Amino acid sequence: MNVIEVVGLTKTYKHAIKQPGIIGSLKHLVNQKYVEKTAVDHIDMFINSGESVAYVGPNGAGKSTTIKMLTGILVPTSGSVRVNGMIPYENRIQNAKDIGVVFGQRTQLWWDLPISESFSLLKDIYEIPDYIYKENLDTFTSLLNLNDFVNLPARKVSLGQRMRADLAAALLHNPKILFLDEPTIGLDISVKKRIREFIKKINVERKTTILLTTHDLEDIKEICQRLIIIDDGKVIYDGNLDAIKNAFSREVIIHFQLREPSTNIKSKLRLPKVYIESKTDINFCIRFNRLEYSTAEIVSLVMNAFDVVDFKIDEPSVDTIIRKVYDGQIELSI
Ligand SMILES: Nc1ncnc2c1ncn2[C@@H]1O[C@H](COP(=O)(O)OP(=O)(O)OP(=O)(O)O)[C@@H](O)[C@H]1O
Ligand SMILES: [Mg+2]
């Protein structure tokens, strides 16, 4: 069942431009000029209950704008959006009961209240039954180690503590979907790890659907099965992580180590479109395109020509591939 259904979703921001000075201000009053920016451009997205999806793309690609439309904060310019069967901006209160939201850049907690009091206010707002509230609070307190700072106001805790409190707050009412906009931004490695494990656990054990934006590719690898890449407001990839790897990791590098030094490595292995780099007399690597040769073919050719003691196959990581997509070095079409 699709819990998120988005068709042709578009958001155009319109903001007035003002010429400088007093004359500019006067002109601005009488004759306003606008510039338009299409931040989200005809996006389609179908997400099933229980999926964990990474929504990634370069700065300004339109990720946060999409999340804001899915959570009912922004009204789309055109297109349709349904979350749990509802139109988010028309049913903000009902929609809020079924979703949890964390914006890494901004807390959802009351700034001056002790975090524990923010939690109990949320209990009242969401009408969370006592037993669910207590059970969730106990679980999140131990998983996220909230005890040390839960009595401090949000403004006094560190960023990592604040993010953990925000995550707990977003999940107290057992939402079906959790939207996370850069939940690990600015955190140290150990807090990132804890947060990733927590999100993963919530997805696996509670079957909570996760939609997560991030610039940290480790988040994707640890948490998500599926990846949607957006660039300049348009979806340029939608598929699982392995598929992107298989489709775009065409270059394979194999490192070989020989038993005996050899001075004529290159001349012994002359193959079209195969590149050999020798590092020392016993170490070299071979680069080729997997569409031209298979790894097995190359390994067996080298094994026949030399006495090989060791070899290691390097395939580009998902990180490398996604970075290349961002940089425009790989064209994706779906
Ligand atoms: N309130 C706004 N008014 C006008 N333009 C906006 C507004 N919010 C965002 N934009 C523009 O819309 C585009 C998409 O912004 P958005 O914040 O959705 O990107 P993002 O993918 O979340 O980027 P980042 O990775 O930096 O968080 C950008 O060009 C941005 O400048
Ligand atoms: Mg953003």
Ligand 2 center from residue 7 Cα (angstroms): 21
Domains and CATH numbers, the chain: 2-245 (3.40.50.300), 250-315 (3.30.70)
Hey, whose CA ends up nearest to atom 28 of ligand 1?
60
Closest C-alpha to 80, from 106, 42, 28, 51: 42
Please give the distance of CA 274 from its chain centroid, rounded to a whole number.
35
Token digits of residue 13: 């921001």
> How does pLDDT run across 11-20, given as a tens digit for each residue?
999 887 766 7
Closest C-alpha to 193, from 216, 210, 175: 216
Ligand 1 center from residue 62 Cα (angstroms): 6
Sequence-separated (6 or more) residues with CB below 8 Å from residue 235: 43, 44, 45, 228, 229, 334
Q: What is the pLDDT along the chain (334 residues), one digit of tens a residue?
A: 899 999 999 999 988 776 677 776 776 666 777 889 999 999 999 999 999 999 999 899 999 999 999 999 999 999 999 999 999 999 888 899 999 999 998 999 999 999 999 999 999 999 999 999 999 999 999 999 999 999 999 999 999 999 999 999 999 999 999 999 999 998 999 999 999 999 999 999 999 999 999 988 889 888 999 999 999 999 988 988 777 766 666 778 899 999 999 888 888 888 888 999 888 889 999 988 888 898 899 999 999 999 999 999 887 777 777 777 777 666 654 4
Dihedral pair phi/psi, residue 213, rounded to 5°: -105, 145
Ligand 1 site residues, Cβ closer than 6 angstroms: 13, 15, 37, 39, 57, 59-65
How many whole angstroms separate alpha carbon 41 and alpha carbon 333? 16
Neighbours of ion ligand 2 (CB under 5 A): 63-64
How many whole angstroms separate alpha carbon 213 and alpha carbon 71? 14
> How does pLDDT run across 114-139, given as a tens digit for each residue?
999 999 999 999 999 999 999 999 99
